[in-house]
Structure formats: C-alpha cells, structure tokens
Amino acid sequence: MEIRIGIVNTGRELNFETSSSPDEVRSQVASALEQSATHLSFSDVKGSAYIVPTANLAYIELGTEESRRVGFVA
C-alpha cells in the first residue's frame, strides 16, 4: 500500500510503500493523535524507517492495496 504524508511548511511530501493494511495505519495514526504522541513511526517494504512529528502533519493519504497489473487488460 502506498502512503503519502504531507508535512506543514514543507514543499515536498513523504511517499513510500508499506506492507501494513490501511486499517492498521489508520488505527496507528488515530491512537497517536488521541494520545498526543510527539511522533509517528512507519516502515516501508524495503526496511527503511520514517519518523514524522505529529505536530507538523498536514495530511496522510492512504493508497489502495491493489497490486499492479502486468500485461494488457482486454
């Protein structure tokens, strides 16, 4: 699944693929915001880790879990 994270006062967004489901990401973000956590932590499919401060979150866009198709569709 693809995740895009917008950060306040930053011209670029953070974009990466993760193996987590959309529901797992939603619950992780919601619990961090409800508990007033200082940061969120994500990891991508390649093993890289991302730490994002919750105070600077502009938006989080969750992509679909659909895998990319190979070939032609009739």
Domain boundaries, the chain: 2-62
Quick one: pLDDT at residue 74?
61
| CA 17 from centroid of its chain's CA atoms | 8
pLDDT band at 16 (very low <50, low <70, confident <90, very high): very high
The closest of 36, 41, 53 to 16, measured between CA atoms, is 41
CA distance 43 to 46: 8
Pull the structure tokens for residue 56: 């600077």
Quick one: pLDDT at residue 29?
92
Read off the DSSP letter of residue 38: S
Q: What is the pTM of this model?
A: 0.76
φ, ψ dihedrals at 44, nearest 5°: -100, 180
Quick one: pLDDT at residue 8?
93
Read off the DSSP letter of residue 28: H
